[in-house]
């Protein structure tokens, strides 16, 4: 990866040794690049000689902003990094501060956190599913995915008041309680998706055109997954069974019964299959939280002004795109001394240059889509 100044030094007339070498800018327009991303492609006809992502079009200095605000004021900013999995980012920040301060979280609040986060995970995967198929030229699956995604957004809106950039979790609990209407709606959604997922496989997974566009395309070897720091479905699509929810347990995940889906081939099709299986596992988790929802308070008493003791802490959670790790240093004041975010999309994007080399342009778009990138998370 390199900055825009380096990218601007490309000379369109002297870039290659052959007559048909040329430079193609993919982006930085939003459609087709999953955010404001620019990729400078060095092409030999339809084949890619090199691909260099150019970042920074949406840089907002999120870490430095966090070092000028109170711990509570930082919370709404979390959703602005990965707007498709805002609740996972909510959870990471509140869990980090609770770890630093030693706050207890009521059991009912933990169940509500997991229930809503898994709904958010499914809605994120639905948007990826629709956008990925659009990248490949299919429009109908997009409509099916967004129809089901709307059911989740309607549910979460009734509870949180938002449809995208949620700021629902609180230090020591959650912002509102779930009632029987919400729980019934969540169970109805689970029942609906259990029967409706088969239509996704009939429409897409078994489609020979889709299989030819994704099988053996963009293969990531297990050796490269660790070398590039890949996480999430991108890692698990290459046979590595790593999920923060079970490998570095937090909240009530160790008490729940669910599997970590993995595929062995490491191609675009494998990453697709992992995410479809993750939807099924999230449905299992949601059903367990509904059935086991305990009675009790939803929030413990915490000070209005949060002042963690001097020290440092880290917190990792599993977002729909992989591992989010937050590192923070406290100097005992109400404002964090240092904040650092380790986001999954940045690492997952880093391998794109290697994957795209030698690919056809159309296949490179399939590879980019299979990574499920959220560029505001990369830029921060």
Predicted TM-score (pTM) of this structure: 0.92
Q: How far apart are CA 80 and CA 58, in angstroms?
A: 11
The closest of 192, 126, 182, 190 to 158, measured between CA atoms, is 182
Helix (H, G, I), strand (E, B) or coil at 155: helix
Q: pLDDT at residue 376 above 80?
A: yes
Backbone angles phi and psi of 314, in degrees to 5: -130, 155
Mean pLDDT across 319-332: 96
Summarize the confidence of residues 113-129 as an average pLDDT: 96
Work out the pLDDT band at 59, boundaries 50, 70, 90.
confident
pLDDT value at residue 42? 94
- How much is the pLDDT for 33? 57
Domain borders along the chain are: 4-54, 62-379
What would the mean pLDDT of 194-201 be, rounded to a whole number? Answer: 91
Per-residue pLDDT at 162 exceeds 50: yes
Distance between CA atoms of residues 151 and 270, nearest Å: 27
Minimal CA–CA distance to 182: which of 75, 79, 289, 88?
A: 289
What local confidence, expressed as pLDDT, does residue 204 receive?
A: 95
- What is the arithmetic mean of pLDDT over 277-285? 97
Examine the pLDDT at 15 and tell me if it is beyond 80.
Answer: no
Instruction: Tell me the three state secondary structure of residue 218.
Output: coil
Q: What integer is the mean pLDDT of 205-227? A: 92
According to the model, what pLDDT value does residue 144 have? 92
Average pLDDT, integer, range 212-221: 93
How confident is the model at residue 55, as a pLDDT? 87
- Identify which of 80-84, 109-113, 367-371 has the greatest average pLDDT: 109-113
Closest CA to 320 of 284, 258, 374: 374
User: What local confidence, expressed as pLDDT, does residue 135 receive?
Assistant: 85
What is the rounded average pLDDT of the residues 236-256?
Answer: 94
What residues are paired with 319 via a beta bridge? Answer: 322
User: According to the model, what pLDDT value does residue 10 have?
Assistant: 41
- Report the distance separating Cα 118 and Cα 122, nearest Å: 6
Which tens digit of pLDDT belongs to each residue from 338-362?
Answer: 999 999 999 999 999 999 999 999 8
Listed in sequence order, the DSSP H helices in 102-139 are 107-135
Is the pLDDT at 6 greater than 60, yes or no? Answer: no
Return the minimum-mean-pLDDT range out of 30-44, 123-137, 187-201: 30-44
Place of tokens 């690049």: 33
- Reported as a pLDDT band with limits 50, 70 and 90, residue 132 is very high
CATH 1.10.645.10 fits 62-379, yes or no: yes
Question: Which DSSP state fits 164?
Answer: S
Give the contacts of 161 (CB within 8 A, at least 6 positions apart). none
- Residue 147 pLDDT > 60, yes or no? yes
DSSP-assigned beta bridge partners for residue 50: 42
pLDDT over 90 (residue 9): no
pLDDT tens, position by position, 172-182: 999 999 999 99
């Amino acid at each position: 990866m390199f900055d825009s100044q380096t990218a601007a030094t490309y000379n369109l007339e002297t870039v290659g040794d052959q007559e048909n070498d040329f430079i193609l800018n993919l982006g930085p327009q939003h459609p087709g690049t999953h955010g404001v991303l620019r990729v400078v492609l060095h092409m030999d006809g339809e084949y890619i000689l090199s691909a260099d992502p150019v970042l920074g079009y949406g840089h907002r200095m999120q870490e430095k902003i966090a070092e000028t605000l109170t711990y509570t004021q930082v919370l709404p900013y979390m959703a602005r990094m990965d707007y498709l999995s805002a609740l996972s980012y909510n959870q990471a920040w509140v869990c980090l501060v609770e770890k630093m301060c030693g706050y207890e979280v009521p059991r009912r609040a933990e169940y509500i956190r997991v229930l809503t986060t898994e709904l958010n995970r499914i809605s994120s995967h639905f948007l990826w599913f629709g956008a990925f198929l659009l990248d490949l030229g299919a429009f109908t699956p997009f409509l099916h995915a967004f129809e089901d995604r709307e059911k989740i957004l309607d549910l979460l809106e009734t509870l949180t008041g938002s449809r995208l950039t949620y700021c629902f979790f609180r230090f020591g609990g959650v912002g509102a309680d779930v009632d029987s209407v919400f729980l019934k709606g969540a169970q109805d959604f689970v029942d609906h998706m259990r029967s409706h997922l088969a239509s996704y496989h009939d429409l897409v997974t078994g489609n020979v055109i889709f299989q030819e566009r994704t099988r053996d395309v963009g293969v990531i070897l297990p050796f490269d997954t660790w070398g590039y720091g890949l996480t999430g479905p991108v890692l698990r699509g290459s046979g590595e069974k790593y999920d923060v929810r079970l490998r570095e347990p937090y909240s009530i995940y160790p008490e729940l019964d669910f599997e970590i889906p993995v595929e062995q081939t490491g191609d675009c099709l494998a990453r697709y299959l992992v995410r479809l299986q993750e939807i099924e596992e999230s449905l299992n988790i949601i059903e367990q939280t509904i059935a086991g929802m305990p009675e009790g308070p939803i929030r413990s008493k915490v000070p209005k002004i949060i002042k963690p003791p001097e020290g440092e802490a880290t917190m990792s959670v599993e977002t729909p795109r992989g591992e989010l790790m937050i590192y923070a240093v406290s100097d005992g004041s109400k404002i964090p001394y240092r904040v650092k975010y380790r986001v999954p999309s940045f690492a997952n994007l880093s391998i794109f240059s290697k994957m795209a080399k030698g690919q056809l342009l159309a296949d490179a778009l399939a590879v980019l889509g299979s990574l499920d990138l959220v560029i505001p998370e990369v830029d921060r």
